[in-house]
Amino acid sequence: MVDGHSMTYNSEKELLTMPEYGRNIQLLVLHAREIEELEQKQAFIERIVDLIQQMHPQTKNVEDYRTKIWKHVFRIAEYELEGVVVPTTGEAPNKEADNVKPETIPYPKSDTRFRHYGNNVNKLIQKALEMEEGPVRTGFVNTIGSYMKLAYRTWNKEHYVSDEVIKNDLEKFSGGKLKIDNSIILDHLSGTNNKRRSNDNRGDRRDRDNYRGGRSNNNYGKGGRGGKGGKKRR
């Protein structure tokens, strides 16, 4: 009791079915349940739906959002709106259909020791195990090793990894059924070596250009104006 007025705390009020719409919307929907005339009840609910959409103008372009609002209104009313239908469908929402929960999506299972390679590596290895032995499978396994090294470098840029580590991990990951020959260099498969070679070529061209520039400057200094061998200014 404060100054002769009683105060009701929210904890003492009825729980909100849809808290994002607020208590006033819930009171309006509960009031609509008591309206006996069907046309008046239908029009009253439609105004509530319009009010909710005005409260969330950013969702007016969302597909079927108005239909979702109707379902929420029926949920607030505990589906006790006899005769009221959704204008877009011409039917009333079904409580059993709305309460159906989607199937649980299983979390992908992978060996925690090799999480840094990603779950896709596990799928590639399983596919390789299903293939017949031969050059196609061998090439596919080599490609998996190259991808594993690329994935390792992506998440561990500060640590060097050798081909031997990747090959051993692939063998462990496949239960010893997939192996990469020791003569295979994984950098060659991923194109890293080609990229390195192109960088070396650019460095060679840069050295040649510097050499040419230095030689022209030397010639300029020996016989040009102001050089050691040129004419002196008077």
Q: What is the pLDDT of residue 137?
A: 93
Looking at residue 59, the DSSP 8-state letter turns out to be G
Taking only the tens place, the pLDDT of each residue in 78-109 is 998 888 888 878 888 887 777 778 788 877 66
Report yes or no: 191 and 198 within 8 Å, Cβ to Cβ: no
pLDDT at 175 over 70: yes
The mean per-residue pLDDT over the stretch 169-181 comes to 91
Q: Phi first, then psi: what are they for 218, rounded to 5°? A: -65, -40
What is the value of pTM for the model shown? 0.45
Residue, of 225 and 14, whose pLDDT is higher? 14
Residue 21 region by backbone torsions, left for phi larger than 0, else alpha for psi between -120 and 50, else beta: alpha
Looking at residue 225, the DSSP 8-state letter turns out to be T
Taking only the tens place, the pLDDT of each residue in 22-37 is 999 999 999 999 999 9
